Amino acid sequence: MDRSSNFINLSLVLWFTVSFALTNSMAGMAYEGGADPLTVATARFIVPTLVLVLALGITGSGLKLPIADALTAIGLGIITAVFSYAMLNAIEILGVSLAVLIFFLFPVFTSLIIAMMGWEKLSAITVITALIAFAGLALTLGVNGESLNIVGIICALIGAFGLALVSSISSRVIRSGDSRKVTFYIVSSAAIIFIIFSLIRFDLHLPSTTSGWTGVIGTSVFYACGIIGYFAAISKIGPAKATLYSYVEPLFTMLAAYIFLSELLLPLQIVGAIIVVGALTVSGVADLRKNKSS
């Protein structure tokens, strides 16, 4: 792998991690402005659907996929809607810190799935760095056991396993093709499900303030950037590495929370952040050495 490819891959990782981090902060603004999780989730999937329709139309790529791939991508979209809604409930029950900590088991789950399926080899360095990064994340989020709730834990685990499943299988559907087409089928299927659910409930909580609307629009736009970049990264570096590097996302989330929501970091959280970055750096260096020797 040459330097230009490494630069592109690193850019994709930074793109989707920063985008997802800003998505979370914007969602906080939306909630403060009167929006609810279902409204935010619905908008989040509508926007990337429209963006991809325009992007694929302008480039002349079209939306068509082989039937088997299209059906698989639609199935992944259904799974995405389920685990997204499960995570919304986990956050409501457990609080953000504990729910996010459990959710970030998904890189480990992803590595296990692709190893069990024989799609990629599970290296020792990947397992070790994932566990170290997870421990650092626990410190960063300042998690304690006071808010344990079995229903919330199950919802968070559904979220983690759901994203791991989507990350693993999507890489097989994308193969060497256009990741944007697969992403379109995934987000549009999820969008349809949330729209139907919203119509059935018929109780959208729209923002009542300017900052609330800024939050809804911002979280939707950044989520579109993040989800498109995430699946592009999977197509370039594989699901194991893409999900492992996702551990850096909460660090950007905390920085964005400080900038937009005035949330301060504690010293122990800073130590945890350093551990996460260190583990990911070791993993990245090991990956580069592996590519040079292959």
Q: What's the pLDDT tens digit per position in 191-210?
A: 999 999 888 877 777 888 88
Place of tokens 């396993």: 161
Q: Provide the domain limits for residue 222.
A: 3-293
C-alpha distances in Å from residue 213, one per residue of 14, 42, 223:
26, 14, 15
Q: Is the dihedral of CA 194, 200, 205, 210 positive or negative?
A: positive
Residue 34, phi then psi, degrees to nearest 5 = 110, -5
Q: How many domains are there within the chain?
A: 1
Which residue type does 66 have? P
- Stretches where the chain sits below pLDDT 70 are 1-7, 24, 92, 95-98, 122, 140-148, 176-177, 250-266, 269, 277, 280-281, 283-294
Q: Global pTM?
A: 0.78
Four-residue CA torsion sign, 260, 262, 263, 269: positive
Q: What is the pLDDT of residue 77?
A: 95
- DSSP structure string for 203-226: ------SHHHHHHHHHHHHHHHHH
For the chain, give the mean pLDDT.
79
**Cβ atoms 209, 33 nearer than 8 A:** yes
Q: How far apart are CA 172 and CA 152, in angstroms?
A: 31
Task: Indicate the DSSP class of residue 143.
Answer: -
pLDDT of residue 72: 93
Residue ranges of alpha helices (H) inside the chain are 3-32, 37-58, 67-94, 96-103, 106-116, 124-141, 150-174, 179-201, 210-237, 239-244, 249-261, 267-293
Name 204's Cβ contacts closer than 8 Å, sequence gap at least 6: 36, 38, 39, 42, 198
Q: How far apart are CA 116 and CA 214, in angstroms?
A: 43
Q: How far is CA 261 from the centre of its chain?
A: 21
Using one digit for the tens of pLDDT, what is the confidence trace for 16-62?
878 877 776 777 778 788 888 888 889 989 999 999 999 998 888 88
What is the phi/psi pair of residue 162, to 5°? -65, -45
